Amino acid sequence: MRYIKDIKEGDNVSEHYLCASKQILKTRVGKTYYSLLLQDKTGSMDTKIWELSDGIANFEAGDYVKVEGSVVSFQGGLQLNVRRLRKSQTGEVDPKEYVPTVEGDMEQMYQELLGYVDKIGNAHLSQLAKKFFVEDKAFAERFKTHTAAKTMHHNVMGGLLEHTLGILRMCEFLADAYPTVDRDLLFVGALFHDMGKTRELSSFPILEYTDEGQLVGHIVMAVEWIGEKIREIPGFPAPLANLVKHMVLAHHGELEYGSPKKPAVLEAVLLHYADNIDAKVQTFGRILSETDKESNWSYYQKPFESSIRRTRY
Amino acid sequence: MRYIKDIKEGDNVSEHYLCASKQILKTRVGKTYYSLLLQDKTGSMDTKIWELSDGIANFEAGDYVKVEGSVVSFQGGLQLNVRRLRKSQTGEVDPKEYVPTVEGDMEQMYQELLGYVDKIGNAHLSQLAKKFFVEDKAFAERFKTHTAAKTMHHNVMGGLLEHTLGILRMCEFLADAYPTVDRDLLFVGALFHDMGKTRELSSFPILEYTDEGQLVGHIVMAVEWIGEKIREIPGFPAPLANLVKHMVLAHHGELEYGSPKKPAVLEAVLLHYADNIDAKVQTFGRILSETDKESNWSYYQKPFESSIRRTRY
Amino acid sequence: MRYIKDIKEGDNVSEHYLCASKQILKTRVGKTYYSLLLQDKTGSMDTKIWELSDGIANFEAGDYVKVEGSVVSFQGGLQLNVRRLRKSQTGEVDPKEYVPTVEGDMEQMYQELLGYVDKIGNAHLSQLAKKFFVEDKAFAERFKTHTAAKTMHHNVMGGLLEHTLGILRMCEFLADAYPTVDRDLLFVGALFHDMGKTRELSSFPILEYTDEGQLVGHIVMAVEWIGEKIREIPGFPAPLANLVKHMVLAHHGELEYGSPKKPAVLEAVLLHYADNIDAKVQTFGRILSETDKESNWSYYQKPFESSIRRTRY
Amino acid sequence: MRYIKDIKEGDNVSEHYLCASKQILKTRVGKTYYSLLLQDKTGSMDTKIWELSDGIANFEAGDYVKVEGSVVSFQGGLQLNVRRLRKSQTGEVDPKEYVPTVEGDMEQMYQELLGYVDKIGNAHLSQLAKKFFVEDKAFAERFKTHTAAKTMHHNVMGGLLEHTLGILRMCEFLADAYPTVDRDLLFVGALFHDMGKTRELSSFPILEYTDEGQLVGHIVMAVEWIGEKIREIPGFPAPLANLVKHMVLAHHGELEYGSPKKPAVLEAVLLHYADNIDAKVQTFGRILSETDKESNWSYYQKPFESSIRRTRY
Amino acid sequence: MRYIKDIKEGDNVSEHYLCASKQILKTRVGKTYYSLLLQDKTGSMDTKIWELSDGIANFEAGDYVKVEGSVVSFQGGLQLNVRRLRKSQTGEVDPKEYVPTVEGDMEQMYQELLGYVDKIGNAHLSQLAKKFFVEDKAFAERFKTHTAAKTMHHNVMGGLLEHTLGILRMCEFLADAYPTVDRDLLFVGALFHDMGKTRELSSFPILEYTDEGQLVGHIVMAVEWIGEKIREIPGFPAPLANLVKHMVLAHHGELEYGSPKKPAVLEAVLLHYADNIDAKVQTFGRILSETDKESNWSYYQKPFESSIRRTRY
Amino acid sequence: MRYIKDIKEGDNVSEHYLCASKQILKTRVGKTYYSLLLQDKTGSMDTKIWELSDGIANFEAGDYVKVEGSVVSFQGGLQLNVRRLRKSQTGEVDPKEYVPTVEGDMEQMYQELLGYVDKIGNAHLSQLAKKFFVEDKAFAERFKTHTAAKTMHHNVMGGLLEHTLGILRMCEFLADAYPTVDRDLLFVGALFHDMGKTRELSSFPILEYTDEGQLVGHIVMAVEWIGEKIREIPGFPAPLANLVKHMVLAHHGELEYGSPKKPAVLEAVLLHYADNIDAKVQTFGRILSETDKESNWSYYQKPFESSIRRTRY
């Protein structure tokens, strides 16, 4: 495959890319043209279609497209001028080439997650977790590939899975370290805490907040979802149902971060910290990876209210 | 009825009261006795049962009880020493005599509220509102008599109804005054915004946060409840469902006051203000009613971050 | 009239516009030229005068000017190059064509406002309100056409009048709804609360904070002004004078928003809310009117700490 | 004089004291009696009048009274039981014996203050300052003996004068140290900044916020007052008037401390700091004087968000 | 041993206790007596010495004393009236009986801590850690038995050791889980982060902030201490020295919690979280242990800004 | 000397400048060139070296360089194209021509500072101050020329000295005005409070935070430094050592501004205010000097949360 990062001025390009955005514009003389942003996992490229001829098939933002064109230099950047374009067909493209993806193997990671599901001893909680992660295939598939955030941390394909797994491992350590912790409740909280994001954010390649996501938010969406599944489980104790919902509701830790309740059980306190740690480690790494290799210090970083530094001495 | 506010030292009392609390204690010499708080709508009275004889039937806090005893003065206050006690029977007591109640007629107020339900033009919203306020008799009954708060404002029987009605009237004014407002959505938001309190707080006479109330909170409880009813209405548009939930979620106005979302539609902004105004007016009135009649100024009041003053000149 | 929004490249223009700003600059070779911003109610236009010949009469920013020139395209925008310019004469221009104006009829709105003045029963307060709105013609004229804010809400000619009227209507509703409210004090507070803005902000067409506005602020300016008029009314009770001043002082609701006192009487609490609601509704509408018609959601809006959404479903 | 701090159980007392408060109460058997708080500058004493006989003349809280009675011990404290009481006559009492007073000589301090008035070079400002401190005898007298605060700092007779003088001295240093400072404006600001307190707080012996003080506040009261005097001075420049008002308005330094404007000229910034320093030094001293002499550390002190320590090593 | 919690009215007591405080007071008639607070690990007891006879030897607060006396009831509590008192001699008392102590074996815990010291690979860091925990016997002894806080969490003998160990275990997990973490720096940070508390707080039995503790604080004290030891290690790299100090400086996580720097390296971020988690778990447990066993919910808890709940369902 | 502010298009330049930054870049065709920023005290100039020939000697950012080249206009600014460049030699340049410097004579100012050192009466404090300002020549030299801040106030050569002197003068006034103040401690605090900046910030001409500065900060660095010197003074009382450190630690006044302790002694409170005043006066002056001379008002200034105004009337 011809990666965008390798394209140079003067190249002729014939390749499949993801159309990340499409604008219909007019030149000064009133002629319609398209301005596109094409992307693959290595970068993106300003693209124009000046002639809307027969060679240009119908397509929309979000489609994979096969383009043919040539690359010119314009105002200090590169611009691809397209002569022919069609939508890519199933099988022609491998989505992993077009969106950033976690490093680990997603199938293997999901198996590890199911291992934690199996460790849940309480019958009601076990049943509840399996209703999502084992029995609901569509959910499982979506969960496996979704992102954990629109920006900042784990905003890659599989990011939600990776993040959830990082938290589960930490929760296992914490349950081992502090014997008063209820391991089952903690695991269920970790598994469920961000699953509302599969509906709050649309999937790759186009990452947008959904209307429901903006109006209701992933925290309350997850609580409703959990409530629905619980109603399908006969004899699920009401106090336990409330505790599970509370784990999700309180995991942002502070009202001003969108949790309508402060953590009131120890497991909710711990889940909040585990979530925070995993997100901060990932954000820290991402910032340093974007910082000049020569420099120990990054620019000022709002999430850390400080410049951050490589640990190098 | 013999009201508590009228009882004096030396009186013999034989009356029904509400037992608001019951503690089992031991004297220094190790003898068991009961310490009760009996109340009616006019006040409460420290009560002791020193001899647990046959005359003292089984009862618990929250029961209405018929007591016989005599009143003594103890450490500057009055104390009722009980000789005989039994639980009151249905029909012997009128709950309104035992808990503070709104001034207006609750039936009439509920009819006024139903008038607003009738004004909802959108078929889906109308159906949804009726599922609660018309068809669900248990809900309607509970809503009619519930309190709007544990302390501070409208914490009387019927307070939730009175508060909801006050907001509905203001919402009608606002919808008339500002033509861009969606009247139906605003009315539904007003009707639903505090209905979770019927489950967040236990009913009179014992006013306590329920476990669900503390773990989940009335806002999210209401959203789940609304979601359940909506699923029973075929063809209810998803965006409308999200908007209705948003009205309830955002009505506290600020994340730090427990709303997981800030108001994002005009109706949510207005509902938040109407709620605030009605609560503040009621709180203002209550504080002044407890302030010395001679004095224009109250003590410092935290909800207003100021002393408050009668408008007298 | 030739509106700015309709002007195109290549046009010859001969029209009256408002000169919103005038800068005297030098080209690289040291020749003096003028850079102007001309505006009408439909927009504004970058304008240059390259040759300061006899055809260019004296004028200043804030003047209406008759210009003749031709329109060229420059760096993606339009530029008017002026050949002749003179100040417009009285009668040649209608100010309403040059500044944005409220939709309603200002005279009619002012009559409605006077209706509220007439409803004030208390003789002292009635006299006081009339001293401003009836007897002080200059004030009345200025109040009628002034803006309520430099940016954000009601920042159009007549905006102060429209805003004050919106609040008066709401205050009337509130006084009807809550019988403990002192209607007279509330009306007077509503009438006076923003009148300091007529001196805090200079008038259209040039909207700037005055020196007094920045050093003293419209709130305290209004209080001083009220004090002066009160001294002209024999027997005006001191407590009532203080209450009227308090209404104005406290109407921003919070110390950090510039009110040196928190609302301490119920009418001050209500005025604060009514002010807030009317401003928020207007701001909400303005943001949505500037948002892409296709999109339900605006960009993030600081005054609402959220994106805001059209109520469409 | 027989000081309260020297009175012991069993004493017979016949002395003039200040009646700081008077309550009319009833015994259990329904007999009316008075409960008083008598004070002198050394302390206060619980006082009762059990028999309202001919020996007890009319009096009110705030009066000086001559009492005769005997001292008993009651619940771990002393109680004066009064047999005879009459109001003191002019000349019988020296107010300085009854309220705490600054250490320095108030007349001398006022002369020093007038020295600063004389240093004001600008004719308009000089005239303005003299209108208050020289020409308005009632004001001067009241200013001389008033307190600077109800609690915390300089809450003694003459405290306002002492505080103002401390600030004037610091302002003189600052004007010497930083040549860009306008000395006249700074002095006038220092002289006027707290003068509203003479009307915000009632005078000794009864120290209470007045109605005007609570509704309007000493800052805005002073601004109005200054405005009135300025109107009596022909040709007083408007910008200068606004600057003087701004000095007073901004001297609390932060909106949340009740200043409706942040300091915007250098003199306002400096006045704010000088005010703060003088108040903090006085508060610091008062706290340490109330702290056990053996101990270096006080208890936690809210105004310093810390325990504070004697500088002893 | 006769524990304080078992003492009853009428008992004669002859036992060793810790004198936690001693006040010299006078009766009304002017006779000197002592008021003491005696404590053991089960509680404390109000104690009086009315007669300062030969039987009462010299002693101070902080001494262990052998007392003989009898127990009376006074104002609803017990009071020990002492007839004879002498200081206890070495060997007569076991300090563990007099102050609360961690459950685990302190020697064993300290060995586990030394195991972490041994895992430090970097030669400079290893040398530095050993200078404190291995070579400085006095420090080691003090560290082993010290408390981690004056109130709230781990405020028992050995609490600092237990807390440090809890954090070390978590840091090991985190270093395993996130490969970019510098394990050596993280371990050193964990070992050192609270060691300043051994000088900030005096030791058991009298737990007080020292003068240095209040003026300088344990964070900066530790940094100075580390600096001194580092100067004894030839060739210790300056950047590494700064990183170690930063770990300690930043571990409170926020400036407003007394850290003069925000965490700027990943290890500092993680240490802050590990510290927080261990403290919160311990505090959570302590609160629940003090909450009525019947009740799921505690009272409102400031550190959690919520009531907290047992995880019971 | 040919100052940068006087250079025009077309000039040939042959002069010494300070190379403030140096970047090695590549043209589109892959040829290496240098992009420099040259500066003197009057400004800075974009500079390019297109041909890396023999005429271009080795140099780095921070060097003074002799350049020859010609000035062209590029994208609206001037650009110096260099033909020849060599490092300047000692004696060829006077650093004061290249970096902004305080107006006063630095030697004279330092003598004034030493005068304050001489006024310290306490023998230990005197010895301590002299160890830095008299005996440590390298320190003295560095202190004399250092800046007090990277931006905002006193960010010129000698700025630290000027700022420290300003504070010392104010401290002398305060010690005179308030007799309870410990003059010696206050002077020592003033002398030491910002001396850590000599190591926190690298010297002119390149002003950067050092690694130690970012990780540890000037406050704690100074405390360590003071501790080291104190250990060289036999018999320095421990409480006094702690007080001196506290003066430095607390001088930012608030935890959120990086002081790990709030001021707890009066001298620390006063030092904090004196520091603040001197910095604010300087910042105020700098902003006004950068504001259009015609205008009384600056733009909004974050450090003052306001626009600021010239005192002109």
Segment D86-141, tens digit of pLDDT:
999 988 998 878 888 898 999 999 999 999 999 999 999 999 999 999 999 999 99
CA distance F178 to D170: 11
- Sequence letter at residue E272: H
CA-nearest of A286, A290, A284, A285 to A304 is: A284
CA-nearest of D205, D190, D200, D239 to D220 is: D200
- b/e C246-278 (16+ beta carbons within 10 angstroms → b): bbbbbbbbebeebbbbbbbbbbbbbbbbbbbbb
CB contact, 8 Å: D213 with chain F? no
Ramachandran area for residue F103 (φ above 0: left; ψ -120 to 50: alpha; else beta): alpha
CB contact, 8 Å: F177 with chain E? no
Contact B273 C276 (CB under 8 A): yes
Could you give the 3-state DSSP secondary structure of residue C9?
Answer: coil
Domains in chain F, number:
2
Read off the tokens for E282: 């311990």
pLDDT of residue B5: 85
* Span A159-195, pLDDT tens digits: 999 999 999 999 999 999 999 999 999 999 999 999 9
CA distance E54 to E51: 9
Using the 3D structure, point to which of E53, E74, E97 is the last residue of a domain. Answer: E97
Chains E and A touch (3+ CB pairs under 8 A): yes
Reported in sequence order, the residue ranges of chain E that DSSP labels E, i.e. its strands, are 12-26, 32-40, 43-49, 64-74, 77-87, 297-301, 306-309
**Same structural domain for residues F69 and F15?**
yes
E71, E295, E297, E313: best mutation site toward chain B, by most B Cβ within 10 Å?
E297
**Same structural domain for residues F189 and F82?**
no
CA distance D61 to B27: 46
CA distance F188 to E161: 38
**Same structural domain for residues C256 and C272?**
yes
Read off the tokens for B22: 């019951």
The answer to whether position F130 is within a domain reads: yes
pLDDT of residue D54: 84
The answer to whether position A212 is within a domain reads: yes
**Same structural domain for residues E214 and E172?**
yes
If pLDDT is split at 50, 70 and 90, which confidence band does D218 have?
Answer: very high
**Same structural domain for residues F124 and F155?**
yes
**Same structural domain for residues A132 and A235?**
yes
The answer to whether position F312 is within a domain reads: no
For residue D163, the Cα-to-chain-centroid distance in whole angstroms is: 10
Bigger pLDDT: F227 vs E22: F227
- Sequence letter at residue F299: Y
Question: CA-based angle D257:D259:D261, to the nearest 5?
Answer: 135
Average pLDDT over residues C182-193: 98
Contact B307 D214 (CB under 8 A): yes
Average pLDDT over residues C168-183: 98
H or E element that contains A127: helix A123-133
Residue E28 has pLDDT above 70, yes or no: no
> Which chains, if any, share at least 3 CB pairs under 8 A with chain F?
A, C, D, E
Q: Kindly report which listed range (A26-40, D183-197, E221-235) carries the lowest average pLDDT score.
A: A26-40
Strands B77-87 and B64-74, how do they pair?
antiparallel
Contact F73 C215 (CB under 8 A): no
Using the 3D structure, point to which of E97, E117, E141 is the last residue of a domain. Answer: E97
CB contact, 8 Å: D301 with chain E? no
| CATH number of the structural domain spanning residue E76 | 2.40.50.140
Could you give the 3-state DSSP secondary structure of residue E127?
Answer: helix
% of chain E beyond a pLDDT of 70: 97
Read off the tokens for C66: 């008759």
Contact F214 A73 (CB under 8 A): no
% of chain F beyond a pLDDT of 70: 97
Contact D216 C227 (CB under 8 A): no
Residue D206 has pLDDT above 80, yes or no: no
| CATH number of the structural domain spanning residue F204 | 1.10.3210
The answer to whether position F246 is within a domain reads: yes
For residue A235, the Cα-to-chain-centroid distance in whole angstroms is: 35
> What number of C-beta contacts closer than 8 Å exist between D and E?
8
Contacts of E52 (CB under 8 A, 6+ apart): E32, E33, E34
Neighbouring C-beta atoms of residue D87, cutoff 10 Å? 15
H or E element that contains C13: strand C12-26
pLDDT of residue B26: 76
Helices (H), E73-145: 106-118, 123-133, 137-145
Cβ atoms of E267 and E148 closer than 8 Å: no
Contact A307 F214 (CB under 8 A): yes
**Same structural domain for residues A60 and A181?**
no
Chains C and E touch (3+ CB pairs under 8 A): no
**Same structural domain for residues F153 and F17?**
no
**Same structural domain for residues F105 and F90?**
no
> What number of C-beta contacts closer than 8 Å exist between B and D?
7
CA distance B64 to B19: 6
Place of tokens 């500037």: C290
Residue E42 has pLDDT above 90, yes or no: no
Minimum Cα–Cα distance from E281: chain A residue: A266
If pLDDT is split at 50, 70 and 90, which confidence band does A86 have?
Answer: very high
% of chain A beyond a pLDDT of 90: 73
Average pLDDT over residues B212-238: 97
A8, A78, A297: best mutation site toward chain F, by most F Cβ within 10 Å?
A297
Helix pair D137-145, D159-177: axis angle to 10 deg: 90
pLDDT of residue D266: 98
Contact F269 D284 (CB under 8 A): yes
Give chain B positions within 8 Å (CB) of C285.
180, 266
Read off the tokens for C90: 């009285």
Closest to F169 (Cβ–Cβ): which among D169, D177, D180? Answer: D177
> What number of C-beta contacts closer than 8 Å exist between A and C?
8
* Span B15-66, pLDDT tens digits: 999 998 888 887 766 688 899 989 888 888 899 999 888 888 889 888 999 9
Minimum Cα–Cα distance from E178: chain A residue: A281
The answer to whether position B296 is within a domain reads: no
pLDDT of residue E77: 75
Residue C87 has pLDDT above 70, yes or no: yes
Q: Which domain holds residue F253?
A: 101-287
Using the 3D structure, point to which of F77, F97, F117 is the last residue of a domain. Answer: F97
Q: What was the ipTM of the complex prediction?
A: 0.86
pLDDT of residue C153: 75
Give chain D positions within 8 Å (CB) of C253.
none
Residue B76 has pLDDT above 70, yes or no: no
* Span A221-258, pLDDT tens digits: 999 999 999 999 999 999 999 999 999 999 999 999 99
Could you give the 3-state DSSP secondary structure of residue B313?
Answer: coil
Residue B113 has pLDDT above 70, yes or no: yes
Contacts of C287 (CB under 8 A, 6+ apart): C298, C301, C308
**Same structural domain for residues A29 and A143?**
no
Bigger pLDDT: E303 vs B5: E303
CA-nearest of D197, D182, D178, D209 to D248 is: D197
pLDDT of residue D64: 92
**Same structural domain for residues A121 and A260?**
yes
CA distance C78 to C72: 6
The answer to whether position B292 is within a domain reads: no
Question: CA-based angle A7:A11:A14, to the nearest 5?
Answer: 85
If pLDDT is split at 50, 70 and 90, which confidence band does C135 have?
Answer: very high
The answer to whether position A240 is within a domain reads: yes
Place of tokens 């207005």: B270
Cβ atoms of C216 and D227 closer than 8 Å: no
The answer to whether position C92 is within a domain reads: yes
Give chain B positions within 8 Å (CB) of A220.
220, 223, 245, 249, 260
Q: Mind giving me the DSSP string for chain D?
A: ---GGG--TT-EEEEEEEEEEEEEEE-TT--EEEEEEEEETTEEEEEEE----TTB----TT-EEEEEEEEEEETTEEEEEEEEEEEPPTTT--GGGTS-B-SS-HHHHHHHHHHHHHT--SHHHHHHHHHHHTS-HHHHHHHHH--S-SSSSS-SBTHHHHHHHHHHHHHHHHHHH-TTS-HHHHHHHHHHTTTTHHHHBPPSSS--B-HHHHHT-HHHHHHHHHHHHHHTSTT--HHHHHHHHHHHHTTT-SGGGT-SS---SHHHHHHHHHHHHHHHHHHHHHHHHTS-TT-SEEEEEGGGTEEEE----
Which of B149-158, C40-49, F258-267 ranks highest by mean pLDDT? F258-267
pTM: 0.89
CA-nearest of C66, C75, C10 to C40 is: C66
Chain B segment 48-67 residues within 8 A of C by beta carbon are none
**Same structural domain for residues A10 and A122?**
no
CB contact, 8 Å: D214 with chain B? yes
pLDDT of residue A242: 98
